[in-house]
Structure 1
Amino acid sequence: MLAALALVAFYNVPAWRALARLVPLAGLGDAAFYVSFGVLMWAAFALLLTAVSFRWIFKPVLMLIAIASALAAYFMTDYGVSIDSVMIQNMAETNLAEASALFSPAMLGYLLVLGLLPTALVWRLPVAYARGWKGLAGRAGTVLACAMAGILMLAAFYGVYSPLLRQNRALTNFINPTSYLHALDKYAHQRWGVKETLAVAPIGLDARPGPAWARQPRKSLVVFVVGETARADHFGLNGYARDTTPELRRLGVLNFGRVSSCGTSTAVSVPCMFSGFPRADYSDRKAKTHEGLLDVLQRAGVEVFWRDNNSDCKGACLRVPHDTVDARRNDARCDGETCYDEVMLDGLQQYIDAKQDNVFIVLHSIGSHGPAYYRRYPAAFQKFSPVCRSNQFSQCTHEELINAYDNTIAYTDHFLAQVVALLQRNAAQRDTAMVYVSDHGESLGENGLYLHAAPYAIAPEAQTHVPMVMWLSPEAQRDWGIDRRCLAARGDAPFSHDNVFHTFLGLFDVQTALYRPALDMAAPCRDLPEGPASAVAPSAAPPAPRKS
């Protein structure tokens, strides 16, 4: 009972804050409801702990809960994040460099005060365990009393609890420790709950080069840059007050200002955009049990290559050639844990020169990954000062945080310009193009929320509205039959990660029944008599091009 009370009082500050936002404390009735909420949590925690209050397991469980709950309290309090199964997946699929960026003195303080000290107290505290029927009866009585207390609290304020828990399910993601225990159980069930071996089903077995491919005078070279943690409203191209994208502006890239992500974390968005499943029909299991875009392109004869400067490709590149940037290389652009994104361009020209067919290169960038934004760009790109040079946002002003983040966007602008420069050097031999889209956005303190990975249903637009740009060489526009003015006029059309799969099939003129012209961003602007659309049922006529 004391342990449950401690959890309510000291480990659930984020839950109390979330409750205060939903039910402002304005009178005695609200105060009574707050008391009922505390009693409800206390009863629930005590019931769960009573179920494990047996010799040999009780103290170890309490100590593990103290340490895990201390860490959960830190992240929920300092970053405003809630914990669900997607957050657990992010933790499971991250790497040491990303994880170490989250370490801070404040986290150690939480771990010491709420983790290690209670653990030492539990270890030294003598506990008398009732045995036999007497012990079971005592535990059963406690469980019954806790259940009755919880039911009474719910019944007394049913009119408040019913809409609160029905319409604001995210509140439960802040309740510590049940939030992460439920998330762990859900993730474990998704990851290991199915006993049969997960086979990868092939897709696009009918994929083959279309007639336009054969007619093109030169081979194609397309680079797809998968961005990281860039939010659209901090791109100068999208009207941001600061010109964070001057190089892309000078290049005259095609900008798409209304693009939404498939998820709010890399672990969801990256496999989703390559899977071919729309967000509404996507699941982690489907991505892991089906081939994706890279497999289809490779089957059609495209030379596919993935280079990673992030945690990994989340399964999207497992069946194609791929490598990862070595952050331990002797290079001023690397610090032993991460490298600046420009490192990914090293050796790409030699790779291109060795290929005779159409080439598709994916560069998975580190981009604006937080919370250590100041480590994502060279000193020369610190255009906005002063900057937050800490991973503990409470030690920085909001201005310093925004400055550091905007510097990452300015460096991304430069990196993308360097990718275009590489393509321009190859434009005399190949039809070249670059597409960039971020995997998700980022919260920068709005409503007390930082970082990303919020549940999609309640995620702020800052985490789901992502930047997307496209650059096409004049030769590619001519040979692929793309009307640039028409495509530029679509810059305000609503797009999403759902369009990625079909747009690249269209650019490479891959014929397959998987292709959906309605999801190909360039299809209405492509003037080819025969192309990928001929492999499927005829679709409605595309709209007439609008003036730019």
Structure 2
Amino acid sequence: MSEGKRRLFPQVSSARLVLLFSLALVLFYNFATWRALNSLVPMEGLWGVAFFASFGLFLWAAFTLLLTLVSFRPLLKPALTLVALVSAAAAYFMNSYGVVIDTVMVQNVVETNPGEATALFSARMLGYLLVLGVLPAAIIWLTPVRYSPFFRGLLSKVLVIFGCLVVVAVCVGAFYSTYAPVFRQEEKLTHFINPTNYIYAVSKFTKQRLGIKENLVVQPIGEDAVMPRKVSADGRKSLMIFVVGETARADHFSLNGYARDTNPELKKLDILNFTNVSSCGTSTAVSVPCMFSRFPREDYSDKKGKTNQGLLDILQRVGVSVLWLDNNSDCKGTCLRVPNRDIPKDQPGPFCDGKNCLDEALLQNLQAYIDGLKDNAIIVLHADGSHGPEYYERYPKSLERFTPVCHTNQLGSCSSEELVNVYDNTILYTDFFLSKVVELLKQNQERFDTSMVYVSDHGESLGENGVYLHAAPYAIAPKAQTHVPMVMWFGSGALGGMGVDRGCLERKADGAELSHDNLFHSVLGLYGVHTSLYQSDLDIFHSCKRDMTAAQ
């Protein structure tokens, strides 16, 4: 650059650029971190101010140390640009929805579909990306950087890293009794620290996925499984429709005591309502494969889910016709080895608009499939349910009973009344949809012993304590994200034909502590499948069978 040409920004050393960018990260990208810290250690009095100052200095030193590792001429500006852009997006989601960034959240991002992703776009998000992403990136590229000769620069970096370590040690040492318990609660603090939260989560997720890919051999399970020819006493075949709900919380079901009548259709039916059911996870990516897995929640992992067959594989092996229909993101690997089909968003009919489909689209032409069944069958309907943040697109306007409603994906800009109203309308539509499922099953009672099982994959936060949506780490997740509704309906004579006492089951439904862990064994029990994997103590129906030998 010529002497006469004026620079927009003064030249700085690579070390100074890293220091300045790290300071910006502390000051502008970590509001969620400061909120989380204040909830753990309230900033009260001089001691509180001193601790918060030490924590800010701790973060500044830690970020500087991390970025110094990439402060070489070919890497520095691209690395800082990437950090600015991703950190801007992370700040937006943490500030707007109260989410945390961990491996499960990274998995959700990787496994989301374009429709779900675009539902999150907004002017506010664009503002974050421009102000905290594009603008800092432009400044970085317009700022001339002075690099020292290699060995002198290397020595300088070593000294900076050493200095950062000293600062970290002094900060932690001065307040060790406070730092130690705070950092043990990683879900409450470190998952908010931007950018180390997503750097760690992405690296851990990548390591897990590479490990799975290297050993991606799906292990067969239940190879000893057999099913008697007659499941019911009268020898009729069984037809179950298993509805996987989405983002429904149990405390917004009027069947569970909610003040609003959100279940007007189900309450007319002879259903079994299970009031105390917990989910396996707080996101679809975890809960859906887990609920069809033989592994209980405490022992389940993404790797186990992807490298082991599940409930549907066993049912298909013993001769049950299996079909998975999806109106959600996808089946998260659960349906890969059984017949499956996504509902096209542009299919003709009254339920799809090219972008979304109402859940009733799952029932279109389903009778024709049922007419061709000759064996026992299970049809899984993966519903869109109450999927946020665009709740207002999940139900027809004819069922917009509760008003006014939130008509934006910026949930924090809506009043609590608007948000609850629009969410309750989605529950109202789920109630209507389930009544249509039962209506379809009733039409087929002469040929089959029919049944419906509905359970949501997880719940949803609606702004309580500043938290929206779901996917909170399970250890700290609010009950709104883990307490899920579960409803069952059985056709005329179906339970009796299987030797199940309905009165006993009704007593169990009212308060018995259940979870997704029960589903694998309960469905096997209903179909009378005999396998060494079956655990009668996890079968909801086993203790209510009059003929206990049927489950041996």
AA at the equivalent of 1:40: F
Q: Is the 8 A contact 1:427 1:475 kept in 2?
A: no
Q: Does structure 1 residue 105 correspond to structure 2 residue 105?
A: no
Query: Could you tell me how far apart the structure 1 residues matched to 2:350 and 2:68 are?
Result: 56
Query: SS state of the match for residue 204, structure 1?
Result: coil
Pick from 525, 533, 537: which aligns with 2:544? 525
Shift in Å at residue 215 of structure 1? 4.7
What is the match of residue 446 of structure 1? 464
What is the match of residue 371 of structure 2? 353
Query: Could you tell me how far apart the structure 2 residues matched to 1:169 and 1:207 are?
Result: 41
1:223-372 mapped onto 2 (5 Å cutoff): 223-372=241-390
Pick from 465, 486, 492: which aligns with 1:474? 492
What is the match of residue 529 of structure 2? 510
Query: Could you tell me how far apart the structure 2 residues matched to 1:196 and 1:35 are?
Result: 46
What is the match of residue 543 of structure 1? none
Query: Could you tell me how far apart the structure 2 residues matched to 1:194 and 1:355 are?
Result: 36
1:149-164 mapped onto 2 (5 Å cutoff): 149-164=167-182
Query: Could you tell me how far apart the structure 2 residues matched to 1:460 and 1:214 are?
Result: 41
The superposition leaves residues 140-187 of structure 1 with CA deviations (integer Å, 9 ceiling, x where unpaired) of: 000100111011100000011111111354300000000000000010
The superposition leaves residues 374-409 of structure 1 with CA deviations (integer Å, 9 ceiling, x where unpaired) of: 000000110100000000012211100000000000
User: Residue 353 and residue 332 in structure 1: after superposition, are their counterparts in 2 closer, same or farther (change >3 A)?
Assistant: closer
User: Residue 359 and residue 195 in structure 1: after superposition, are their counterparts in 2 closer, same or farther (change >3 A)?
Assistant: closer
1:76-155 mapped onto 2 (5 Å cutoff): 76-155=94-173
Query: Could you tell me how far apart the structure 2 residues matched to 1:418 and 1:245 are?
Result: 13
Query: SS state of the match for residue 203, structure 1?
Result: coil
AA at the equivalent of 1:27: G
Q: Is the 8 A contact 2:412 2:463 kept in 1?
A: no
Q: Does structure 1 residue 461 correspond to structure 2 residue 479?
A: yes
Q: Is the 8 A contact 1:212 1:528 kept in 2?
A: no
Shift in Å at residue 194 of structure 1? 5.3
Q: Is the 8 A contact 2:232 2:497 kept in 1?
A: no
Q: Is the 8 A contact 1:211 1:530 kept in 2?
A: no
1:179-218 mapped onto 2 (5 Å cutoff): 179-193=197-211, 196-210=214-228, 212-213=230-231, 215-218=233-236
Query: SS state of the match for residue 209, structure 1?
Result: coil
User: Residue 496 and residue 214 in structure 1: after superposition, are their counterparts in 2 closer, same or farther (change >3 A)?
Assistant: closer
Query: SS state of the match for residue 453, structure 2?
Result: strand
Query: Could you tell me how far apart the structure 2 residues matched to 1:115 and 1:94 are?
Result: 23
User: Residue 260 and residue 214 in structure 1: after superposition, are their counterparts in 2 closer, same or farther (change >3 A)?
Assistant: closer
The superposition leaves residues 49-78 of structure 1 with CA deviations (integer Å, 9 ceiling, x where unpaired) of: 111000111000100110000000000000
AA at the equivalent of 2:500: I
Query: SS state of the match for residue 371, structure 1?
Result: coil
Shift in Å at residue 429 of structure 1? 1.4
The superposition leaves residues 419-449 of structure 1 with CA deviations (integer Å, 9 ceiling, x where unpaired) of: 0000001011110000000000001111110
Q: What is the aligned-residue identity percentage?
A: 58
Q: Which sits farther off after the overlay, 381-390 or 517-526?
A: 517-526
User: Residue 214 and residue 34 in structure 1: after superposition, are their counterparts in 2 closer, same or farther (change >3 A)?
Assistant: closer
Shift in Å at residue 212 of structure 1? 4.9
Shift in Å at residue 339 of structure 1? 0.5
Query: Could you tell me how far apart the structure 2 residues matched to 1:530 and 1:211 are?
Result: 16
Gapped regions of structure 1 (runs ≥ 5) = 535-548
What is the match of residue 54 of structure 1? 72
Query: Could you tell me how far apart the structure 2 residues matched to 1:193 and 1:373 are?
Result: 37
AA at the equivalent of 1:507: L
Query: Could you tell me how far apart the structure 1 residues matched to 2:481 and 2:46 are?
Result: 37
User: Residue 419 and residue 195 in structure 1: after superposition, are their counterparts in 2 closer, same or farther (change >3 A)?
Assistant: closer
The superposition leaves residues 175-218 of structure 1 with CA deviations (integer Å, 9 ceiling, x where unpaired) of: 00000000000100110145633100101111111375275421
Shift in Å at residue 335 of structure 1? 2.3
The superposition leaves residues 101-160 of structure 1 with CA deviations (integer Å, 9 ceiling, x where unpaired) of: 100110000001001111111111000111221110000000100111011100000011
AA at the equivalent of 1:450: Y
What is the match of residue 542 of structure 1? none
Query: Could you tell me how far apart the structure 1 residues matched to 2:111 and 2:71 are?
Result: 33
Pick from 490, 511, 516: which aligns with 1:497? 516
TM-score (ref. length: structure 2): 0.95
The superposition leaves residues 466-491 of structure 1 with CA deviations (integer Å, 9 ceiling, x where unpaired) of: 00010011221221122111111011
Query: SS state of the match for residue 86, structure 2?
Result: helix
Query: Could you tell me how far apart the structure 1 residues matched to 2:433 and 2:235 are?
Result: 30
The superposition leaves residues 239-295 of structure 1 with CA deviations (integer Å, 9 ceiling, x where unpaired) of: 001110111111031000100000000000000011110011111111111100000
Pick from 8, 21, 31: which aligns with 1:3? 21
AA at the equivalent of 1:408: T
Q: Which sits farther off after the overlay, 101-110 or 329-338?
A: 329-338
Query: SS state of the match for residue 314, structure 1?
Result: coil
Query: Could you tell me how far apart the structure 2 residues matched to 1:495 and 1:205 are?
Result: 27
Query: SS state of the match for residue 213, structure 1?
Result: coil
Query: Could you tell me how far apart the structure 2 residues matched to 1:529 and 1:452 are?
Result: 40
Query: Could you tell me how far apart the structure 2 residues matched to 1:214 and 1:160 are?
Result: 62
Q: Is the 8 A contact 1:212 1:530 kept in 2?
A: no
Q: Aligned residues, how many?
A: 533
